[in-house]
Structure 1
Amino acid sequence: MKPRFTKGGPPRPVAGGRLSRWVPATAFLLVVTTSCTGSAPGDGAPSGGRPGAAGVGDRLFPALGNGGYDVTHYGLTLDYVPETNHLKGTAVITARATQPLSRFDLDLSGLRVRTVTVQGARAQVARSKDELIVTPGKTVRNGETFRTVVTYDGTPRTLKGDDGGVEGWVKTDDGSAALGEPSGSMTWFPGNHHPSDKATYDITVTVPKDEDGDPYDVISNGELVSEEDSGEAVTRHWRNQEPMAGYLAHVSVGYFEIHKGWTGHDVPVYVAVDPDEAEGSADVAGMVSEIVDWAGDRFGPYPFSSAGAVVDHLPGLGYALETQTKPYFDAAPDRALLVHELAHQWFGNSVTPRRWSDMWLSEGMATYAEWLWEEEHGGRSTPEIFQAFYDGTDAESEGIWAFPPPEPPGAGHVSDPPVYGRGAMVVHKVREAVGDETFFGILRTWTRQHRHGSADTRQFIALCESESGKDLGALFDTWLFGEGKPSQRQE
């Protein structure tokens, strides 16, 4: 994610045309919908197992995710009507039990659940806040691969986060955009919505044609594998073959100009641009190709089977998001913003934070990618950018010493400046300490070792030390974990 507006006040320009995040309280309606009827939690539970945990114990988002199983694939079949903002869905969730399961939870906010089956048999269901509690007819064995099918419908929610931003199912002027960081994906499909549980996806969306008989476009992650026109509606099937965290799943419905091409390294590129943003986005497809190849030379081979971008027209959203394979932009992006979100395809999407407190690994790396791009394209050197952040003269340096990057004080602070700017400063200090050859080797090893997985801060520190042969404890204690602004002479 790259914030574009500043919190606590109206938007103000910063370097490169980017803004930090702010969204007025009245910008979007928070839609509150219904619950599902069913048995109370624990009623009729099968014997021989134990309930999966509601939440994975993440300090910042304790209710997100669930214990007792690991999802391997989501098959989502959606019918969406833009004029009424009504969604009807069937989620086929394939998972492997990591314990004997008498009961398990799925994250789901709003929407009305109609039926739930586990291994083809009807299950009992109950709702508790954003938890869908599923009790199968018999215990799921430890290690068993099982399939849960949930049918549901309703008006999907738009959520307002603790930081004032919006996520979830967000209405646009010609359709909608599903935006998931950190918890918005649970507003449009049930699942295990914590970054530590990644899965492959098939997303099939049917949308009726508009009143003039024109079809809406539907854009999602991965590759378009089929498109069917029934005369009244168009159905598009998108497939993401590589594992993806739930917060990176995305659907955009609206009218788009589609640009297709290839990078110089033979990665297919698919860029969708809202006509209202076409003038400012004329170079986006070419820039995507250029940046993906540039990043691949520095960070390792591009980790997915396609690349691209979605440039929507959503005034007031206030951020861009690294949705997998096709980052989402609320308006025409500048080059630095494209660099940031495309760098996330390596850092954040392929190598995903194990916990939300590890998010600095993604945002710090993506921010440092901006620094590298600037250094190599006629701008400031990375030492000059580092110094501007340290001195507080860079437009994005405000607030970077508020807390250590891996220790946001609460959920509303996961996108605060220390996670980005100070995170990038930590990366630069590692580069200074180990030298360029070892530094870029560390980045390529990191993306190779954890490709399509999740990783945490301690693993990154261990890799830096093992690859460099140096004790970097003082560096990390000072620049990553230290409170307040350190002396530049401290190591």
Structure 2
Amino acid sequence: ATIALAYEGYLLGYAETGMLYVKDRIDPAFTMLRPDARAYPALGYPSMAATRAAGFAPSFHYRARITVPDTLEVAALGRLVERQVSEGQASYVYESQQLAWRMDFAIARYGVLERDGHRVFHFPEDSAGGARVMRNLSEGLDLFTRWFGPLRGDPRFTVIEIPDGWGSQTDVTGIIQAAAAFRDSTRSNEVYHEVSHLWNVTTTDGPAPRWEEGLASFLEELAVEELEGRPAVRGEATRMLASAVRFFDERPQYAGVPLVEYGQREITGLSYRVGMVFFTVLHELVGPDRFNRLVGEYYRRHAESGGSTAEFVRLAKGEAGRDLARLFDEWFYTTDWLQLARQGMTVEQFMERY
């Protein structure tokens, strides 16, 4: 089916309800169209809460044709299959690389870098940052491939720069990244974080607890240590642990919610913090070789069919070479870790505990 959309008027209501980053518009200076602003029909319910609870998985392929003045570049996370220029107009045709759950299109006077099939779209004033992001992207892909094994198919990864304040976004084939990451050389970890998500699988849990965000938060710091030679993991894990404790101190109504229920209670932002500490401890307990084998094997077994938290836990216990029952019980299925952290237990002491 072909859907033709005509846009007119102003986008109102998002900032007023707290979604401050939704500034999508059609503008010669910068254009953004994405599902956050309901820019096109999508599968769901007439309720944000109900749609989130349903946890819709990637479910469609797309082919999109976008025509713009030939002074502008159309950026998307799909594969560019056609570009035609005629009478001052340029038509771009993008297709999804695999099953998708969203379409994101940005239009600006982009510079484009390409290497080994990967692309970085950057604003003209950020060409140096674009080159650095491309280097981080390539090095991150090489590192995680060495650790976890090759990805299925022939993945092509894209990074698209957008203005600060518009909200970064990740899909399985790329990143929409705020300009600050292009302008600050100390934020390479953000690129490593998003690249590591390529080795995630579609979750069959619903609503998902998103522990894979904790894994990515750990892997980004581990990549910094490996690729840039500066300490990162222990310090970040200490900060994350303190931040998680503060969250529960300020919101005692959630103090009894374990990580596996974060999706049900809509507090998956905590998965970055609690999950990061958990995977820091797990990596120390089993060692890098077993840890990398676990992540790679979970991806290989479930990349096509999807996987659940229970399947990950079962595989981890089988690959660990030691008893992890207490670790998973205290961090995934109860909030015992929180009580211990409140008593002053440090990241290093958690490592010694198991």
TM-score (norm 2): 0.76
Give the CA deviation at 1:477. Answer: 1.8
AA in 2 matched with 1:274: F
Deviation at 1:443, TM superposition (A): 0.4
Asked whether the equivalents of residues 198 and 453 of structure 1 are also in contact (C-alpha less than 8 Å), the reply is no
User: Quick one: which amino acid aligns to residue 25 of structure 2?
Assistant: K
Q: What SS is found at the alignment partner of 1:241? A: coil
**Which residue identity is paired with 1:206?**
I
2:171 alignment partner, one of 311, 314, 323: 323
Q: How many residues align?
A: 320
| Contact 2:111–2:123 (CA under 8 A) maintained in structure 1 | yes
Question: 1:397 Cα shift?
Answer: 8.0
Q: Distance in 1 between matches of 2:17 and 2:291?
A: 34
Structure 1 CA distance for aligned equivalents of residues 209 and 26 of structure 2: 28
DSSP 3-state at the match of 2:292:
helix
Closer, same or farther: CA 411–316 of 1 in aligned 2, 3 Å: farther
Of the candidates 66, 70, 78, which is equivalent to residue 222 of structure 1? Answer: 78
Deviation at 1:295, TM superposition (A): 1.7
CA RMSD of aligned residues (A): 3.4
User: Equivalent residues in 2 for 1:372-391 (5 A)?
Assistant: 372-376=222-226, 377-380=228-231, 382-383=233-234, 385-390=236-241
Contact 2:208/2:264 (CA < 8 Å) preserved in 1?
no
Deviations 1:204-227 (A, max 9, x none): 232232xxxx43211112321111
Task: Pick from 339, 345, 350 the counterpart of residue 192 of structure 2.
Answer: 339
Work out the CA distance in 2 between the residues paired with 1:254 and 1:229.
16
User: Per-residue deviation at 1:454?
Assistant: 3.0
1:202 matched residue in structure 2: 62
Equivalent position SS for 2:81? strand
Query: Which of 352, 364, 369 matches 2:202?
Result: 352
| Counterpart in the other structure of 2:338 | 485
- 1:338 Cα deviation from its structure 2 partner: 0.8
* Rounded Cα–Cα distance in structure 1 between residues aligned with 2:294 and 2:203: 17
**Alignment deviations for residues 114-161 of structure 1 (CA, whole Å, 9 cap, x no partner):** xxxxxxxxxxxxxxxxxxxxxxxxxxxxxxxxxxx6555445967749
Query: Which whole-Å CA distance do the structure 2 matches of 1:374 and 1:463 have between them?
Result: 27
For each residue in 1:276-312, what CA deviation from the matched residue of structure 2 results, as whole angstroms up to 9, or x when unmatched? Answer: 4335434222221111111211232134521231112
Structure 2 residue runs of 5 or longer lacking an equivalent are: 45-50, 182-186, 250-254, 341-349
- 1:333-388 superposed Cα distances (whole Å, 9 cap, x missing partner): 121111111112222xxx12334643533211110111211332322263454345
What's the counterpart of residue 25 of structure 2? 171
Match of 2:90 in 1: 234
Note the C-alpha offset of 1:191: 3.2
Unaligned runs of 5+ in 1: 1-91, 93-148, 263-267
Alpha-carbon distance, 1:326 to partner: 2.4
- 2:319 is aligned with 1:444: no
1:11-410 alignment runs, 5 A limit:
92=1, 150=3, 152-155=5-8, 160=14, 164-166=18-20, 170-171=24-25, 174-180=29-35, 184=36, 186-191=38-43, 196-199=56-59, 201-209=61-69, 214-231=70-87, 233-244=89-100, 246-247=101-102, 249-262=103-116, 268-303=117-152, 304-312=154-162, 314-317=163-166, 319-333=167-181, 334-347=187-200, 351-355=201-205, 357-376=207-226, 377-380=228-231, 382-383=233-234, 385-390=236-241, 392=242, 399=247, 403-408=257-262
C-alpha distance in 2, partners of 1:370/1:292?
Answer: 12
| Larger deviation, residues 361-370 vs 423-432 | 423-432
Measured in 2, the distance between the counterparts of 1:280 and 1:158 equals: 33
Greater Rg over alpha carbons, structure: 1
Q: Is the 8 A contact 2:120 2:130 kept in 1?
A: no
Give the TM-score normalised by structure 1: 0.57
Task: Note closer, same or farther for the CA distance 1:366–1:290 as it changes in structure 2 (3 Å cut).
Answer: same
Residue matched to 1:141 = none
- 1:412 positional shift: 5.7
Percent of aligned positions that are identical = 19
Aligned-partner Cα distance in 2 for 1:219–1:257: 10
1:80-120 Cα distance to aligned partner (Å, 9 max, x none): xxxxxxxxxxxx3xxxxxxxxxxxxxxxxxxxxxxxxxxxx
> More strand per residue: 1 or 2?
1
Residue equivalent to 2:343: none
Structure having the larger proportion of residues in helix: 2
- Of 267, 292, 302, which residue of structure 2 is paired with 1:413? 267
2:119 match: secondary structure: strand
The one-letter code of the counterpart of 2:132 is: D
| One-letter code aligned to 2:189 | A
